[in-house]
Structure 1
Amino acid sequence: MKRCVRNKFVGGFVVFRFVPVFLLVIGALIFNVSTQDRPETGGWKLRRGSKEWSIEFGYAPMQPTFFSGKKEYDTDGRQFALGSFRWGRVIGTTKGVTYEYLFETMPIAMALSNEVTDPSPSANKDSDKSKYTVRQNTYGAAIHPAGFRFVFLPARRIKPYVQTSAGFIFTRKPVPVPQSPNYNFSGDFGGGIMYSVDSRHTVNFGYRYFHISNMNIGEINPGYNANIFYVGYSSFYK
């Protein structure tokens, strides 16, 4: 019990100590571009052929069970954190909606309070090691080569959007239970708003329902879900 509490505290500390730094960076970028000349009316529009680089940080304070039903493992206390870089290209635009292809890498994909095999000597003496588990933070990375975003009201300064993506996630230890593999399929869907600081830069706030599944290639396929709320910063260029 003490170990579980300590891991939860350490995980929270690791995640939240980077939040102020990230927000300071975003604030500095906003201040820098906001001091530049503002575009003419309609200058907020995303143009076809424009490319995007963005950075994003997200955190899931809980693991949901809706859409997938009650889990066969304990979901209490599980959290998720991610940090990602994204490249995109606007592939089409109309008066009401803009279409964008996205390629995303997540060098930080961390399952907090993940259930892993107990490494203690007393647990290793038993032949059935699956009976002994502890909660630990599990580090991983993911890549989502198939992503699409649909931006509505693309000529407005505040643009709502929906997006989805899919790919793979690799973790140092199995997620979400010891019987799972270290590599899984991952996907998400969600949406948010883009706020145009100027004609080329946006600050993004959104939500993504993040799902991990081994597609039945593991011993069992319990699945993992996370409600991730994120903030990001994007730069568009030709």
Structure 2
Amino acid sequence: MHARLAVVALLVSLGVVVPCVGQTTDSLAPAPSTNAIGVWAGGSFATGRLIGNIRRARMGLIGLRYHRLLAPSSRTPLSDGPTLTYTADLLPVLFLSIPAGALSPLPSDRPAPERTSSPSRPQGRTAVGVGVRPAGLRLTFRPDEHLQPFLAGSTGLAFFNRSVPNALGRSLNFMFDVGAGVRVVVTSALILTAGYRYHHLSNGFRGQINPGVDANLFQLGVTVSP
């Protein structure tokens, strides 16, 4: 009698515990990550004239990027619709080279009154610096596919070791960019990125001159998520 009661009690216990364990396992299953980090590098292949007036300038950037998924929520299954992601960049390396003659004659390039007979030639300028772009958004299409086209843009600040484009400019400059590209999903935790950005840099009329640099940038990056 006692043996039968023990068997019945054991079966009842298993019937209660096993579903609870299964339910707990499902509830603790990790949801898709909303956070990711990446590293990228970009370089200019041509200058534009949409806003900036400096010609033949060269620009290079290396950045660390933080990604956070905004919509849809990471706790809902991804649909075929686009996703919206917030991005923030830390730029430990900025490079800007402005060749001689890239600007129209500026006051600093004109001869002093006592030396009008021998005008000086405009000089080029190279500067390095750091930057931050705390405000960025990316709209990614086909998030369930291995190839994911996207549109993106960001804005921030750049600080150089000398004033640009020359002594009449400023070391602290503003920048923003817009562009498009494609994300290549290698694994669920590893994504490669290639894209184009139209990048503008200027001092926001804080200097005596503000010609601005428009750069057409090509960028490559790697993103990892936990």
User: TM-score with structure 2 length normalisation?
Assistant: 0.71
1:134-213 mapped onto 2 (5 Å cutoff): 134-213=123-202
Report the alpha carbon displacement of residue 114 of structure 1 after superposing the two structures with TM.
5.2
Indicate yes or no: 2:66 matched with 1:87.
Answer: yes
Report the alpha carbon displacement of residue 135 of structure 1 after superposing the two structures with TM.
2.0
Task: Name the amino acid aligned to 1:68.
Answer: I
**Does the 8 Å CA contact 1:115/1:178 hold for their aligned counterparts?**
no
What is residue 214 of structure 1 aligned with on the other side?
A: 203
Q: 1:234 to 1:178 in 2, by over 3 A?
A: same
Distance in 2 (CA, whole Å) between partners of 1:114 and 1:172 is: 17
Report the alpha carbon displacement of residue 136 of structure 1 after superposing the two structures with TM.
3.6
What is residue 28 of structure 1 aligned with on the other side?
A: none
**Does the 8 Å CA contact 1:102/1:145 hold for their aligned counterparts?**
yes
Distance in 2 (CA, whole Å) between partners of 1:137 and 1:184 is: 15
C-alpha RMSD of the superposition: 2.6
Task: Name the amino acid aligned to 2:215.
Answer: A
Residue ranges of structure 2 left out of the alignment (5+ in a row):
1-30, 73-77, 102-107, 114-118
Q: Which has the larger radius of gyration?
A: 2
Indicate yes or no: 2:41 matched with 1:57.
Answer: yes
What is residue 235 of structure 1 aligned with on the other side?
A: 224
Distance in 2 (CA, whole Å) between partners of 1:81 and 1:114 is: 15
Within the candidate set 41, 45, 68, 2:51 is matched to: 68
1:174-209 CA distances to partner (integer Å, 9 max, x unpaired)? Answer: 222331110011111111000000111100000111
Q: 1:168 to 1:115 in 2, by over 3 A?
A: farther
Distance in 2 (CA, whole Å) between partners of 1:165 and 1:232 is: 16
Q: 1:97 to 1:60 in 2, by over 3 A?
A: same
**Does the 8 Å CA contact 1:115/1:176 hold for their aligned counterparts?**
no
Give aligned pairs, total.
Answer: 179
Aligned residues: percent identity?
25
Distance in 1 (CA, whole Å) between partners of 2:124 and 2:33 is: 46
Distance in 2 (CA, whole Å) between partners of 1:165 and 1:131 is: 39
1:12-161 mapped onto 2 (5 Å cutoff): 50-65=34-49, 67-68=50-51, 71=53, 73=54, 75-76=55-56, 78-93=57-72, 95=79, 96-113=81-98, 133-161=122-150
Distance in 2 (CA, whole Å) between partners of 1:185 and 1:132 is: 28
Report the alpha carbon displacement of residue 68 of structure 1 after superposing the two structures with TM.
2.4
